[in-house]
Amino acid sequence: MGHVTMGIAFSLGSISCGFADTSSVTRYRILDFIITIPLFFLISLGTEAVFSHSVLFVISLTIVSFSLFMLAVLSPRLGAIGFASILLAIYAMLLHMDGRPIWLVPMWLTGGALWYIFWQALAIYFLPNQESKDILSDLYQALAKKVMAHDHGFIFTSDNNQLFIESAQLRSQIAGLSHTLENRVHQQFTAGEDSAKLQDIYRFLTIAERINEQTRLLYFTPTSKLKQACPQWLESIHQANLKISQYLAQVTVDNVNRITTPDIDFDALRRFSVQPALQEEAIAAYAYINKLDIIYLSLLQLSQQTNEVKNSGVIKPIVISWKWNEILTKLTSQMTLKSSYFRHALRGTLSLAAGLIIVRALNLEFGFWTLMTSLLVLRPNLSMTWTRLLQRLTGTICGLIVVGGLLHFQVSSDILPFIFCIAVVLFFHTAARHYGFAVFFVTLFVFAGFSLNGQGDNIMLPRLDNTVLGVFLPLFFVFILAPGWKKKSFPIQLTTTVNGYMSYLDSLKTYIGDKSDNVTSELQRHYQDCVVNDTNLFDHWMGYLGEPHRKSQTGEHILLCSRSSNIILRILTQLNENKQSLPFDATISNDLDIAIASIQELERTLEKSQNHTELFKQISKQEKLIYQSFIYIENEIYKLDNHTLLQLLSKEVDLFVSAIQNHTA
């Protein structure tokens, strides 16, 4: 019995240490582990010491958990260590047994953390940068899906609204993966870590960003006339797209020299003869081929070795100063409800304290699962917490169904250790990517562990009951403490996005008169800000869909705004693509002035409509006209020169302004 408990404690200590391990830089990971190990032992020892004293237990849990949550103010790495330490304290509660020496469970849990560190050291030595490679693989697979998303029009009748949603979801996923990987690689470069493989990862990341930028212009839906007249040509374009997508989905840093680059004859695609009556419709197809060709040329660069890594604009990793007065000032400055750190710490502390009081008052069996569930479900806003809640419930219920099957068939105790080990491995593999799957596997892990301890038959109902209670508490406290409703914050994000478009156009106006390297870099930075802001705008819509009690009409209005913003971004992307050919003349300068004036008017209009309810009502009045504009731009953008693009931009912005103003006129 004791050996089984020790094995469970080792596994739980390893899981906690995995949550604390967030750095990509070796020396920072060592520093994090040096902090984590004694902190783990002290936190679990304190839990054991006060476990039998309910009032003292609640008071100490409240103070310690709030302090650990607030470590995130000092640095994200310390925040992760604080979170992992709270989780470890809950694991110590689960493993507590009267009569044991108070140092025994802390020693086992800390031993599990050391066991994790041992295996991580082996992984770093034998599989360097493996986590970055995994993120890079996910990034290229997402790019492959995005390229294929724009290919649906060749085969199916395309719903432009659905295509926008699918494409935007992938854009959001790609942005998250790219940002995560960029931070990891930049931290390593800044810390002096360098290797040929790390350079390859950075090169792959740079090429991925270039491909992603091209996919923003990869829009083409053939008309029925073109499909009837040129089926072979369209099939050839589709096959080229398919080959590129398949290559993107399988290429990695390790196999790039072992897999065959697709053979595509783009000149033959361009030479295809189209009837004179269909030349206008074929222009978009030629533009699509050109974009595929640019992506293909980027793919050819993947297998090229290089010893040079351009690492300009590297972000320094966050390293805290250990001056106590600065730490105190930083912490006290966040002690306000305006601080997201303080709100999150307060919600988390209240959820844990309330959970502990309920568990002790009702004497719930395995009640500390309630605290663990609350900790893992709690997110910074209502939308994310609600989504996490659904994933937790789904994963737990599915896991318990499998557990019920295992109990029904009376699975042999000889198989349980294998289920235990496999479930832990799969939990680590899915924890950062698919939380619902991670919950499913951890439920199997808990069942196997408690079955080995002779308690497997008793966990099903307590596991479900405590999960339901555990997901309710954080939802309640997020709801009453600044839930962060997406429909209320959307107008603010929309204003931020429009401001970004203004900054880009101002920078573009400077660029056409001065195409120096500094001005070019500044222009590209503003363009990337536009992309990020537009992605955040769509994420607000996704967040709204994740909230309880949403209204379909409000969701449609937020989506309409997101699509309108994306149309503006698409025009700016085409201008950014053509920026070197923009002449410094009166016509283009005047066009830019008109576009800037239109966006300034949109800014002023939005400032008057910060109330979310009024904004959505106003926009709904011109919904049909805006969608007609979308169709025109999507079909015509490839045919337009810079002068016409700028005029179209002004027209699109003016239409959006009128959609808001007409309601109040």
Query: Smallest Cα–Cα separation from 238: which of 154, 156, 160, 141?
Result: 154
Q: Which one is predicted more confidently, 119 or 216? A: 119
pLDDT of residue 634 exceeding 80, the answer is no
pLDDT of residue 661: 64
- What integer pLDDT is reported at residue 511 of this predicted model? 92
Residue 242 reports pLDDT greater than 50: yes
pTM over 0.95: no
pLDDT at 583 over 70: yes
Q: Express each pLDDT in 463-479 by its tens digit.
A: 778 888 899 999 999 98
> Lowest-confidence range among 4-8, 58-62, 65-69?
4-8
- Residue 157, pLDDT > 80, answer no
Model confidence pLDDT, tens digit, residues 199-208 = 999 999 999 9
pLDDT beyond 90 at 250: yes
> pLDDT class for 155, splitting at 50, 70, 90?
low
Rounded to whole angstroms, the Cα distance separating 277 from 105 reads 80
* For residues 460-464, average pLDDT: 72
pLDDT of residue 73: 92
- pLDDT tens digit sequence for 105-126: 999 999 999 999 999 999 888 8
Q: Please give the backbone phi and psi of residue 378, each rounded to the nearest 5 degrees, phi first.
A: -60, 125
CB 183 within 8 A of CB 115: no
Average pLDDT score, the chain: 84
Lowest mean pLDDT among 124-133, 253-262, 515-524, 650-659: 650-659
**Mean pLDDT on 211-230:** 83
Question: pLDDT-based confidence at 631, cuts 50/70/90?
Answer: low
Angle value at C-alpha 77, between 71 and 79, nearest 5 degrees:
30
Report, as an integer, the average pLDDT of 258-274: 90
| Contact between residue 287 and residue 638 where contact means Cβ atoms under 8 Å apart | yes
| Cα dihedral: 438, 248, 130, 23 (round 10) | -70
Q: Model confidence at 664, in pLDDT bands (50, 70, 90)?
A: very low
Q: Reduced to 3 DSSP states, what percent helix, strand and coil does the chain have, rounded to the nearest 5?
A: 80, 0, 20
With a cut of 60, say whether residue 612 has pLDDT above it: no
State how far the Cα of 547 lies from the Cα of 83, in Å rounded to an integer.
25
Is residue 530 pLDDT above 50, yes or no?
Answer: yes
CA–CA distance, 194 with 189 (Å, rounded to integer): 6
Give me the pLDDT at residue 153, please: 58
Query: What is the spatial distance between Cα 132 and Cα 195, in angstroms, rounded to a whole number?
Result: 13
Which of these ranges, 19-33, 95-109, 262-276, 541-555, has the smallest mean pLDDT?
541-555
Residue 85 pLDDT grade (very low, low, confident, very high; cuts 50, 70, 90): very high
Radius of gyration of the chain (CA): 28
- What does the block give as tokens for 313? 């604009």
In this prediction, residues 243-264 reach a mean pLDDT of 93
Q: Which of 362-376, 392-406, 634-648 has the lowest mean pLDDT?
A: 634-648
pLDDT for the residue 296? 95
Please say if the pLDDT value at position 244 is more than 70: yes
Measured CA to CA in angstroms, residue 616 lies from 30, 359, 551, 558 at distances of 51, 44, 12, 8
pLDDT of residue 384: 85
Contact predicate 622/655, CB 8 Å: yes
